[in-house]
Amino acid sequence: MKLIIAVVQDKDSARLSDALVKADFRATKLASTGGFLKAGNTTFLIGIEDDKVADLMAIIKKNCESREQLVAPISPMGGNADSYVPYPVEVQVGGATVFTLPVDQFEQF
């Protein structure tokens, strides 16, 4: 068994959630915040059998879009003025950032 941890953009989370239910995958959604943009995103925890990992990846890939996002200038107040960027910067936010972990044991009581 594997535990898939997928960080996705909030805009894609409802669509991915619906697709997972439709395909009979079980998932837990956590509200999360990106360390760089400090904007909300959604983290899915999905426990699945090894032979279904490829199907799950295809569903995640299909339902999560890569987008350009503007990073607003952050005030240097209280921070380091050397790293202050006075204009918005565009970054490419991935469709999904996915980690695959082995599961030693899975129990439901």
> Which residues form the interface with ligand 2BA (CB under 6 A)?
7, 34-37, 41, 91-94, 97
Nearer to ligand 2BA, 49 or 88 (CB): 88
Nearer to ligand 2BA, 49 or 66 (CB): 66
Write down the least CB distance from residue 34 to ligand 2BA, Å: 2
Pair type for strands 67-71 and 89-93: antiparallel
Residue nearest to ligand 2BA (CB): 34
Q: Is residue 32 a contact partner of residue 7, using CB atoms and an 8 Å limit?
A: yes
Q: Is residue 57 a contact partner of residue 5, using CB atoms and an 8 Å limit?
A: no
Place of tokens 């904007």: 39
CA distance 53 to 26: 13
Nearer to ligand 2BA, 48 or 95 (CB): 95
Write down the least CB distance from residue 51 to ligand 2BA, Å: 26
Nearer to ligand 2BA, 51 or 90 (CB): 90
